[in-house]
């Protein structure tokens, strides 16, 4: 069986606006080489529930939602596909970095039609609830969990790995 040839993922973030006749346009392009695995799915997250849309572990096991190999993930994009309703995205962290379960979480609002982008999840997040101190010791992202509120919401997850 032939293996998958790796390729370069090209991402672009573009902003365009004109205020008082002045353009404030910008494009940021990033190339991520060595990508040979793509995980992409659209998930309907039920109303008033928590839905795990991605998991990351240092060892990959079989299961309904098999974890992605945290050491190989290079790019994560999460998009709220709804056109009117915001959702809460919880970034679950594995402080012990032992693949057992999430120990802490941070949540962010993802407005309708908007995305959250992250690079590597391995040592990619730090959370502290003590005096709002700056966290410099980063730990592993364990999973991404969506809370929808009163409406079912479609979300898209795109993850590129080597």
pLDDT digit of tens for each residue in the chain (162 aa)?
567 899 999 999 999 999 999 999 999 999 999 999 999 999 999 999 999 999 998 866 544 457 899 999 999 999 999 999 999 999 999 888 888 788 889 999 999 999 999 999 999 988 877 777 788 889 999 999 999 999 999 999 999 999
Q: What are the backbone angles phi and psi of residue 120, rounded to the nearest 5°?
A: -70, 140
pLDDT for the residue numbered 61: 56
Please enumerate in sequence order all residues whose Cβ is within 8 A of that of 90, keeping only pairs 6 or more positions apart, or say none: 50, 105, 106, 107, 144, 145, 146, 147
Q: Domain map of the chain by residue range? A: 35-161
Quickly name the fold that domain 35-161 has. Answer: Jelly Rolls (2.60.120)
Q: Tell me what pLDDT residue 128 has.
A: 75
pTM: 0.89
Look at residues 107, 110, 151, 162 and name the one whose alpha carbon lies nearest to residue 129.
107
pLDDT at 59: 67
Instruction: Enter the tokens of residue 119.
Output: 């690079």
Contacts of 19 (CB under 8 A, 6+ apart): none
């Amino acid at each position: 069986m032939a293996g998958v040839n790796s390729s370069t993922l090209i991402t672009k973030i573009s902003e365009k606006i004109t205020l008082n006749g002045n353009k404030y346009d910008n494009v940021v392009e990033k190339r991520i080489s060595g990508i040979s695995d793509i995980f992409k799915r659209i998930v309907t997250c039920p109303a008033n529930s928590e839905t795990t849309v991605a998991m990351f572990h240092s060892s990959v096991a079989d299961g309904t939602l098999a974890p992605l190999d945290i050491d190989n993930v290079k790019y994560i994009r999460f998009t709220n596909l709804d056109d009117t309703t915001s959702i809460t995205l919880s970034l679950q962290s594995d402080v012990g970095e032992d693949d057992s379960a999430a120990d802490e979480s941070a949540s962010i609002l993802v407005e309708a039609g908007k995305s959250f982008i992250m690079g590597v999840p391995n040592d990619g997040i730090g959370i502290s609830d003590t005096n709002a101190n700056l966290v410099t010791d980063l730990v592993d992202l364990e999973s991404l969990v969506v809370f929808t509120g009163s409406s079912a919401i479609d979300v898209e997850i795109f993850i590129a790995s080597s």
